[in-house]
Structure 1
Amino acid sequence: MKKRKKDNEEGSSVSKLQLAFEALKNPLPKMGVTRREPVWKKNKAILWYYPPEEKKYGVPVFFVYSLINQPVILDLGPGSSLIEHFVNEGFEVYLLDFGPPGYEDGDISLETYIVNYIQTGVRRALRHSGAKEITIFGVCLGGTLAAMYASMAEEPIKNLILSTPPIDFSHSPEMDQWAEALRKGDASFDEILDVIQTVPGFLVNRGLSLLLSPIHFSSYLSLLTKADDREYVAKWRRFNKWTNGHVPFAGAAVKQMLNDLVRDNKFLKGHLLIKNKKALLTNIKANLLVVAGKDDALIPETMVKPVMELVSSQDKMYRLLKGGHTTINITPHFPDYLAEWLPERSAPIGN
């Protein structure tokens, strides 16, 4: 009896292993399927507009995503798309896709991204929508950029949402040794960045894989366990494609991030300059919602929460959610933390 049970378990394992291999060979499920149209382009960047079937709010949402990943994670697939949920709720949505920088873009700094891309993109979105105010939604490093922009913006930002943004770089456990070496002057990447101009995507991917190797490996175990669940496999393949699809990183932006943020923590300390103007967190007065993930191995809560004490926002909320760095926003419906906070602050039409 015990032998038969063991044979069945082994047969099941082999079957799932075969299914997992077959799944990896099949065509990739479609990603980024929510209807959209381009409204502005600059260099490699595109500002996408996602129109709702029925517009229910007067304040549009403007997404700023990270510089090292593709923003398709925000529109991963049907039922797993944060942008789709926003559109279904009746929000006008804009997404700034920075695009992959080439060798010729090595001089693009964080400052350039903030002023020439984000600020200009927000102005285009306001003009396109005809709205009087806007919600800025920054995710990951895009949240850092969104906070920097909001700290010097002239545009009417009504709401600022920051999801897992690294703000306090003195609390980065995975980068402690590098940060300490940078602070002491024992390490510098400036010269090599001046030569290569742009960090290739595969090096960005390799670096993050080294930081998160146990988590990276465990995802394949998850696929093996649920290889007979077609819906799960499709979602896993989309997510895996995004995870391994890092884009290049402009050299000047990497230098500024390593020196001004990781080494000197200038943004938190109020010493960061953007176009010769101090980017002060105290300048942020918009309604503020900050989110961190309990299981976030990349950006721990200690890097996120300090922003709450430094802004001037009267209406502000901090949420520590169950989930990892990206999974907190991959839900089958409009996330509860947003549904409870954003609609009433977005000028509902008809109210």
Structure 2
Amino acid sequence: MSGFKFSPEKIISELCQFNEHLLQSVNTLQHLEEVSVGQTPKEIIYREDKLQLFRYQSEKTPGKKRCKTPLLICYALVNRPYMVDLDQERSFVKRLLELGLDIYLIDWGYPDAADRYLDMDDYINGYIANCVDQVLQDSGQDQLNLLGICQGGTLSLCYTALNPDKVKNLVTMVTPVDFKTPDNMLSHLAQQIDIDLAVETYGNIPGAMLNDAYNALMPMRLGLQKNLNTPRQLRDRASALSFLRMEKWIYDSPDQAGEMFRQFLTTFFKDNGFINNAVLVGDQSVDLKQITQPLLNVYGSSDHLVPPSASRALTGLTNSHDYTEYEVASGHIGVFVSGKSQTEVAPGIADWLKQHE
């Protein structure tokens, strides 16, 4: 401990500053309105079970080149999709709209006991397939652009391989492909889970339990350090709203349909299905070589949930002759909510899609 020097004066100063921030945070919270998220205007164009398909209101910017091919966003099942529209100052969706894209988004909703036996076939050949058809019908186009995020990117790869004629361009963002890279902490944790026992015990897997698992990957940063910094985050209205919107998203975690959870973990975390060519959806084998369309693979350089090695493993697994990797200097969530998301990531994706019209 010789490198750390603590003086009574320094300790007293830091404690006084902490107490001052604590008092400021109490005052801020007393005068804070409801924390709202997902404010970009949209409408529901399709419902099925818990699922809702949204169409966002397009931004008609004079002189701005528009992308005529609609973009469907497929988010992960484990979190709510309003991460891409967290607030108006850092909305990934709003920025894409401003850049001339017509956007649709799948909201998976909150599975309950009635969804216990939904499986990968239901989600990919059922829900995603039906949403794609609805977007094509609504837009009057023969093909769409598909953007899959995290687990949603894995599902989008499966859908595209099974339905290559309906997808014009594919974008994967922070998407796991190789689920057993040495630096994948989530994978190491998943290998220790008795999946059958978990599903038989819980039925649907509680979202709160999954949140605890994610937090356990970085206990100091996501536990002690985060809690100690909370008073500083809440000391004024602007920073408090930004912090609380993120907290709302983090803990707004739907339960997972039991059979889907079992199949996904077994297929990908246990059997590393893409790498070992062992992905089965219903009675169909998923062959990534069926993907020949242009493909943009976006990943975060400091992503602790889906490390770059897990995403970059997509290289060479498809038959796309127009494969591009886009590294973003951020973590898993920063790809969507950081300053880079507004100034670099969204424009980069929009430009790439326009170039591939």
Structure 2-normalised TM-score?
A: 0.87
Shift of 1:154: 4.5
Residue 68 of structure 2: SS of its match in structure 1?
coil
Runs of 5+ unmatched residues, structure 1:
182-186
CA 273–335 in structure 1, closer or farther in 2 if over 3 Å, else same: farther
Aligned pairs for 1:248-327 within 5 A: 248-327=255-334
Shift of 1:211: 2.2
Shift of 1:179: 5.1
How large is the Cα RMSD of the aligned pairs?
2.6
Q: Does residue 153 of structure 1 match 2:163?
A: yes
Q: Which residue does the alignment assign to 1:64?
A: 74
Shift of 1:53: 3.0
Q: Is the 8 A contact 1:123 1:155 kept in 2?
A: no
CA 278–33 in structure 1, closer or farther in 2 if over 3 Å, else same: same
Q: How far apart, CA to CA, are the structure 1 residues paired with 2:138 and 2:158?
A: 23
CA deviations on 1:212-251 (whole Å, 9 max, x unpaired) are 3223223344443344443222111100110111110011
Q: Does residue 42 of structure 1 match 2:48?
A: yes
Report the AA paired with residue 232 of structure 1. S
Aligned pairs for 1:181-260 within 5 A: 188-217=194-223, 218-260=225-267
Q: Is the 8 A contact 1:105 1:197 kept in 2?
A: no
CA 273–5 in structure 1, closer or farther in 2 if over 3 Å, else same: closer
CA 32–151 in structure 1, closer or farther in 2 if over 3 Å, else same: same
Q: How far apart, CA to CA, are the structure 2 residues paired with 1:161 and 1:42?
A: 25
Number of residue pairs the alignment of both structures matches:
343
Identity across aligned pairs (percent)? 24
Q: Which residue does the alignment assign to 2:185?
A: 174
Q: Is the 8 A contact 2:71 2:104 kept in 1?
A: yes
Q: How far apart, CA to CA, are the structure 1 residues paired with 2:306 and 2:94?
A: 25
Shift of 1:149: 1.0
Q: Which residue does the alignment assign to 1:13?
A: 18
Q: How far apart, CA to CA, are the structure 2 residues paired with 1:17 and 1:46?
A: 40
Runs of 5+ unmatched residues, structure 2:
1-6
Q: How far apart, CA to CA, are the structure 1 residues paired with 2:59 and 2:159?
A: 30
Q: Which residue does the alignment assign to 2:3?
A: none
Q: How far apart, CA to CA, are the structure 2 residues paired with 1:342 and 1:283?
A: 25
Report the AA paired with residue 170 of structure 1. K
CA 244–127 in structure 1, closer or farther in 2 if over 3 Å, else same: same
Q: How far apart, CA to CA, are the structure 2 residues paired with 1:144 and 1:77?
A: 26
Residue 95 of structure 1: SS of its match in structure 2?
strand
Residue 340 of structure 1: SS of its match in structure 2?
helix
Quick check: 138-147 or 222-231, which moved more? 222-231
Shift of 1:110: 2.1
CA 341–88 in structure 1, closer or farther in 2 if over 3 Å, else same: closer
Report the AA paired with residue 40 of structure 1. Y
Q: How far apart, CA to CA, are the structure 2 residues paired with 1:324 and 1:219?
A: 16
Structure 1-normalised TM-score?
A: 0.89
Report the AA paired with residue 51 of structure 2. A
